[in-house]
Structure formats: C-alpha cells, structure tokens
Amino acid sequence: MQDKKTYANLWEKPIRIGTRGSKLALWQAKFIAEKIEAQGVPTEIITIETKGDKILNKSLAKIGSKGIFTAEIEDKLRDGSIDIAVHSAKDVQADLAEDLKIIAFSERENPADVVVSFNKNTKLTHFDNSFIVGTSSTRRVALLRHMYPNIRTADARGNLTTRMKKLEEGYYDALILAYAGVLRMNYHEYIVQYLDINTFVPAVGQGAILVEASCELNEAQAQQLRQWLNHEPTEWCITAERAFLKEFQGGCSVPVFGYAKLENETLTLTAGVVSLDGQRIVKQTAQAHYLQAERLGIEVAQQVIAHGGREVIQSLKKHTS
C-alpha cells in the first residue's frame, strides 16, 4: 500500500470540495474533508448556492426541475473551479450527465424517516385533522395520506435549522425528516417516532453522502479518492436503488421510494410509487446477488411499471398540469 506522502504527491494543491452552504451540507463536506486530510492531503471547502437554495417560496414539486440542489455545483466541476462535489445521495438525479461520474458513497446512516416534535407525546396515530405535519417531500406527503389519511400536511421548505425554528414557532405540530440529518445536526433529542422502513419506505439514497467528480479528473486521483472514501456495501445498495429510479424515470417531484438492504451477499430491494392523494400505492420487492445490483433495480422498476406504476405517474402529471 502507498504511504501518505506518495498519496499526497498526486495532489499539487488542496482538494477543492464543492458543497451547498447549509449547516447539514457543510457537515457532510467536512466529514469527507476529514477523511481526505487523514491521508495527508489538505482540502478547501467551497460553498455554492443552488436553485433549490434560492427558491424557497415554491414547493419542490412546483419547481419541477432535475438537479435543483446539484446543477450549479456540477457546473463548477465542469469548469474546474472545484475538484469534487459532496451531496446528499438522495439529491443526485439518477440519469447523471455523461461528463460526470460518481466516485464514492459514504457508509450509510440509518435511512429511516422520523417524526420530530417539541411535544414528547406526539405520535402520528394520535393526530387528527387539527394537527399539521410539515414536510417538503412529495413522497412523505403521499405516504402520510396513504397511511394516516386524517393528517394534514404543510410545505416545509428551507434548511433543517430553518424548519426546526418554524416548528418551534408553531407553524407545524411535527416535522417528518430523515433520521440521518436529524442526527448529524444534533436534533435527535426531539425524535418522537421512528417510521417503519418497510412501510414508510425512504427516498432513494437517503442516509448516504455521495462524492461526484468530472470525468476530466485524473483517473489515478479518482481511484485514490475512491479508496479513501467509498463504502462498498452502501454502494451496492444505492446502485440498485438508483437503477430503479433511472429505469422508472422518477424525479424529486414524483412520490417514488426505494430502499435496498444487504444481508450476506443478497440484496433485497423494495421500491415503488404512491399517488399524491395516497389512494394508490404500487410496491414491489425482489432479491439478487449484490453483483447484480443494477439489474435488480431495473427489474424492480419493470415490475412496478407492469403493476400499474406508470398509470400512477400519468395521473400525477395530469394533476400537476
């Protein structure tokens, strides 16, 4: 194995890491930076504002474009302003541009969704139509309507700190958030309920950090970063999930879900789509060897389509238009 000095020789300057500027995004970038610096290579974190950060008066579904949290950062990869980009894996579109590549996935945190409230006695089963749950995710809204039809929802845009402040000010009775972000921002004491990952299935990639680069990045440097940063079991799981998303052609404004878990050498993928009103859900589960992760994702997408998933999407498009 190469020593740290040899590793550092591949980098004449600090590795420039591009990221959004929210506290959670910076936590993720610093997490990756620390892993790189542990190998003797300095880093520099560069914050970049994205479309999703600028437009806060519309829901994600109404913004309706791909890469709303990544496009501007990816442009900086292309023009050489940054060497790598660090994203929440769930924010990265499945159909990655041909001039970009994924280098690594961090080890995945628990990908479950959680209910957060300042009222310790809060449970979704206790809610009636006088209570309001805040979320900016169409998936969470649709699953809530499917499982808890009496609960009202309200759009909760902004970074995690902003949403927690609005919760404290009484805009919502509770929020539904990803456990990983709540933990990383030290809000875990306000978790009042963990949602069952098998029924309230998370978003594709939820809980993991993704490292992206331009295809122009030197291959030796890319492989070196991969060796330092990549967690292979997480990569296999999210490869299956992203293959499902790409085949199904679901984006951030579509209530799709997908979660793969690895046991021994077997991947189990559960994925599907739910109508925005919660009335119809199409969900399929299949298994394969982890080396067949991409094929597994494609097959599950085809199963979801065959069982009516495409019709759910078409009805959603009619509704939004």
The partner residues of 116 in beta bridges, in order of sequence, read 175, 191
pTM over 0.75, yes/no: yes
Structure-token pair, residue 51? 């479309």
133, pLDDT greater than 90: yes
Per the structure, the complete domain to which residue 87 belongs is given by 4-107+208-230
At a CB cut-off of 8 Å and minimum separation 6, what does 80 contact?
Answer: 214, 216
- What percent of the chain has pLDDT above 70? 90
Within this chain, do residues 119 and 180 fall inside the same structural domain, yes or no? yes
Helix, strand or coil, per DSSP, at residue 259: strand
59, pLDDT greater than 50: no
CATH number at residue 309: 3.30.160.40
Calculate the CA dihedral of residues 296, 225, 218, 295 and round it to 10 degrees.
Answer: 0
Percentage helix, strand, coil for the chain under 3-state DSSP, each rounded to 5 = 40, 25, 35
Range from 7-11, 40-44, 156-160, 274-278 carrying the lowest mean pLDDT:
7-11
pLDDT digit string, tens, across residues 174-215: 999 999 999 999 999 999 999 999 999 999 999 999 999 999
Within this chain, do residues 59 and 98 fall inside the same structural domain, yes or no? yes
Map tokens 């970038």 to a residue. 29
CA–CA dist 256, 261 (Å, integer):
17
Within this chain, do residues 224 and 276 fall inside the same structural domain, yes or no? no
Please answer whether residues 91 and 71 qualify as being in contact, where contact means their C-beta atoms are separated by less than 8 angstroms.
no
- What's the confidence (pLDDT) of residue 198? 94
Within this chain, do residues 92 and 225 fall inside the same structural domain, yes or no? yes
Alpha carbon 301 to chain centroid distance? Answer: 18
Max Cα-Cα span within the chain: 62
Per-residue pLDDT, averaged over 222-250, amounts to: 95
Within this chain, do residues 188 and 226 fall inside the same structural domain, yes or no? no
Within this chain, do residues 103 and 117 fall inside the same structural domain, yes or no? no
Within this chain, do residues 89 and 220 fall inside the same structural domain, yes or no? yes
For the annotated catalytic residues, the residue numbers are 91
179 is a domain residue: yes
Range from 226-235, 270-279, 282-291, 311-320 carrying the lowest mean pLDDT:
311-320
Structure-token pair, residue 256? 């799709």
Q: What is the mean pLDDT of the chain?
A: 90
120 is a domain residue: yes
Among 230, 243, 252, which Cα is nearest to 271's?
Answer: 243
Within this chain, do residues 216 and 300 fall inside the same structural domain, yes or no? no
Within this chain, do residues 293 and 157 fall inside the same structural domain, yes or no? no
- What's the confidence (pLDDT) of residue 17? 98
189 is a domain residue: yes
305 is a domain residue: yes
Map tokens 């709540």 to a residue. 182
CATH number at residue 69: 3.40.190.10
Within this chain, do residues 149 and 276 fall inside the same structural domain, yes or no? no
Within this chain, do residues 93 and 219 fall inside the same structural domain, yes or no? yes
Residue 6 pLDDT class (50, 70, 90 cuts): low
188 is a domain residue: yes
63, pLDDT greater than 70: no
- What's the confidence (pLDDT) of residue 53? 59
225 is a domain residue: yes
126 is a domain residue: yes
Strands (E), the chain: 15-19, 43-47, 84-88, 100-105, 113-116, 132-135, 152-155, 174-178, 191-194, 209-214, 256-263, 266-274, 281-289
Which of the listed residues 172, 194, 216 is the one where a domain comes to its end?
194
**What is the tally of structural domains in the chain?**
3
Calculate the CA dihedral of residues 15, 19, 22, 24 and round it to 10 degrees.
Answer: -70
Per-residue pLDDT, averaged over 56-70, amounts to: 57
Within this chain, do residues 88 and 151 fall inside the same structural domain, yes or no? no
203 is a domain residue: no
Residue 250 pLDDT class (50, 70, 90 cuts): low
52, pLDDT greater than 70: no
5, pLDDT greater than 60: no
Residue 268: count of CB within 10 angstroms of its CB: 16
Amino acid at 148: Y
